[in-house]
Structure 1
């Protein structure tokens, strides 16, 4: 895709602004929650409509978060010529700030419309879940990422909330297995934030953004990246103790590409070339999701 040929507010511009590669982070937790529900309910009792709504809500909220991040980082002046990560739509002039503001309103409204019918399956408390998802979607970029709380939010909103709520909407209860899987999922998806923050450590220090990597330093940030993936697999030991061997054994294979990405991270160390590790990490997250989901369903 030739970025020099992108017209203002064009379809190509909006596609880039939506950051399609990040959608794996939205898909994986829902996929894991649905795998547990499918295993525990069986095909005849599985709710296909709430499953579809959960996946669509996750996708739209991820795009909304990307738009919010693009706009507010542009307003703050964080996406300048020193940026090492993938180019951002507002900063590059692909999307006008006014159009991005309208898009944020529209995508937030669409997400709410998609999520509202889930009240029929999970009760009125689903409205509260939706409100918190939208609220923290804004607070992450505008406030919490500057306080070093991004990794906590990933654990909650890309792990615990989507995995557990997706399962609850199908079964109306939780299990310790599902909760453990949600924590493991959060650790895996946090690797994407860690590599982002590791690459941007110098710019974040300049911007006053106290990410976890800024707080602990680059060396410890690399170690956190490695052990976030390892922790996800270690948590999976619970599945083995419960007699679900495949749910533990298959995700162990994730450590092969994860360690390879870590070694590449160490070798590259700094600069735009770390974006290759970013791509590898997004792929590895999806691999983990597929392996864990397959392992869960094989223990049907």
Structure 2
């Protein structure tokens, strides 16, 4: 059945990122209100996963059409699934999956705006910005190095976290935007490091993301700055009681960012040949916000 055949294009192992960010937003809302509407939360999770699948399938489709798939050296964490280079007959199915999940994401956003009306009018620009990133990331945003650098963290680390808080509480709060800065920096680093193995292939089709435009040395510096910012913000928010003392546990997975940085400095664009450093980066981007969310929820 072709529907099951295209599941690798969803990149299922990576879809956990959206629920983690949504859980962080939900935990903040719970800390503020003491209650959670789990039906609303379930719809939010569906929307987040749908948005992530949309990004991934659009990326799969456009990377194959552009010829990038045939030039990319894949790692467990970068270079796409390789599904279409092995089974090009599935191209229309992947395209349809991208259209359906993008439309589903849009309809869920419309539902929340309709449900809450003017009380959550901030959802409209947030939703439109998120949708623009979903549709434009692979084809257009990858040609603008600074925008490409911050788009992943903006979409997952800020819009998902803050958006979840809004739809669960029905009002705007600055807290999720502040705490969301931690996954913002880490998720930007997640995508940044995963671009290293693909520099030559990406350059050949006209992409101009940060490592292409400014080089590995500058990219490593940005990675270090982002990792340091996330670490300092975690400590600052704890000291200001915006996060509970228990959130200091997040320093443990956060340390993995610096292990990944060591690999980036040592191996540069060859880091894909040493995937444990990419794994450290992925683990940091997932486990740090997950730990924060858990400690906020149970505090």
Report how many aligned residue pairs link the two structures.
289
Among 53, 56, 60, the alignment partner of 1:66 is 56
Which residue is 2:185 aligned to? 187
1:92 and 1:271, CA in 2 relative to 1: closer, same or farther beyond 3 A? farther
Give how far 1:30 is off. 0.9
Asked whether the 8 Å contact 2:43–2:108 carries over to 1, the reply is: yes
Which residue is 2:254 aligned to? 255
Which residue is 1:293 aligned to? 293
Among 31, 42, 56, the alignment partner of 2:23 is 31
User: Aligned partners of 2:80, 2:55: CA distance in 1, in Å?
Assistant: 16
User: Aligned partners of 1:41, 1:195: CA distance in 2, in Å?
Assistant: 37
Q: Can you list the C-alpha shifts for 1:85-105, whole angstroms capped at 9, x where unaligned?
A: 344222332652222222222
1:53 and 1:165, CA in 2 relative to 1: closer, same or farther beyond 3 A? same
Among 70, 78, 99, the alignment partner of 1:80 is 70
Give how far 1:259 is off. 2.0
Question: Structure 1 runs of 4+ off > 6 angstroms?
Answer: none
Give how far 1:162 is off. 0.9
Asked whether the 8 Å contact 1:90–1:96 carries over to 2, the reply is: yes
1:46 and 1:67, CA in 2 relative to 1: closer, same or farther beyond 3 A? same
Among 231, 236, 239, the alignment partner of 2:237 is 239
Asked whether the 8 Å contact 2:264–2:271 carries over to 1, the reply is: no
Q: Can you list the C-alpha shifts for 1:19-73, whole angstroms capped at 9, x where unaligned?
A: 012213212221110111111111xx32111211111101011011100001111
User: Aligned partners of 1:168, 1:208: CA distance in 2, in Å?
Assistant: 38
Structure 2 gaps of 5+ residues are none
1:276 and 1:122, CA in 2 relative to 1: closer, same or farther beyond 3 A? farther
Asked whether the 8 Å contact 1:198–1:222 carries over to 2, the reply is: no
Asked whether the 8 Å contact 2:23–2:293 carries over to 1, the reply is: yes
- The within-5 A match list for 1:274-285 is 274-285=274-285
1:155 and 1:254, CA in 2 relative to 1: closer, same or farther beyond 3 A? same
More displaced stretch, 65-74 vs 117-126: 117-126
RMSD (Å) for aligned C-alpha atoms: 2.4
Return the TM-score normalized by structure 2.
0.86
Tell me whether 1:209 sits opposite 2:207 in the alignment: yes
Which residue is 1:5 aligned to? none
Tell me whether 1:134 sits opposite 2:112 in the alignment: no
Give how far 1:172 is off. 2.8
Return the TM-score normalized by structure 1.
0.86
Asked whether the 8 Å contact 2:153–2:186 carries over to 1, the reply is: no
Asked whether the 8 Å contact 1:28–1:285 carries over to 2, the reply is: no
Give how far 1:83 is off. 3.1
1:30 and 1:115, CA in 2 relative to 1: closer, same or farther beyond 3 A? same
Give how far 1:248 is off. 4.9
User: Aligned partners of 2:279, 2:228: CA distance in 1, in Å?
Assistant: 19
Q: Can you list the C-alpha shifts for 1:142-186, whole angstroms capped at 9, x where unaligned?
A: 111112121221232112211111111122333333211112211
Which residue is 1:224 aligned to? 222
Give how far 1:222 is off. 2.3
